[in-house]
Amino acid sequence: MSELTTNKSNRYLEQAAILLLCLGEEAAATVMQKLSREEVVRLSENMARLSGVKTSMARKVINNFFDEFREQSGINGASRSMLQGILNKA
């Protein structure tokens, strides 16, 4: 794997770790149940390494998630608001 691919992969793993931590324990556990053992290990390692994540960074990760989700699924803005509300309650 090239360094560029590795760095991009690591960045995505870090963003996933931040997103799961933002979801809270129960919701994150539900998501992780859908992952392979290797994916759970890699994400858990990234979650354990995180420190000093600022609120602005967490917001950026959440916004990136919604942008990607909207692009991939065709979900419109109203549904995005609903999903943000769900995440806020999680």
Q: Could you read off the pLDDT of 27-38 as tens digits, one per residue?
A: 999 999 999 999
Instruction: Select from 81, 69, 62 the least CA-distant residue to 23.
Output: 62
Q: 3-89, which class in CATH?
A: mainly alpha
* DSSP notation for 57-80: HHHHHHHHHHHHHHHHH---HHHH
Domain boundaries along the sequence of the chain? 3-89
Least confident of 12-16, 26-30, 65-69: 65-69
78 pLDDT band, cuts 50/70/90, is low
On whether the pTM is more than 0.75, the answer is: no
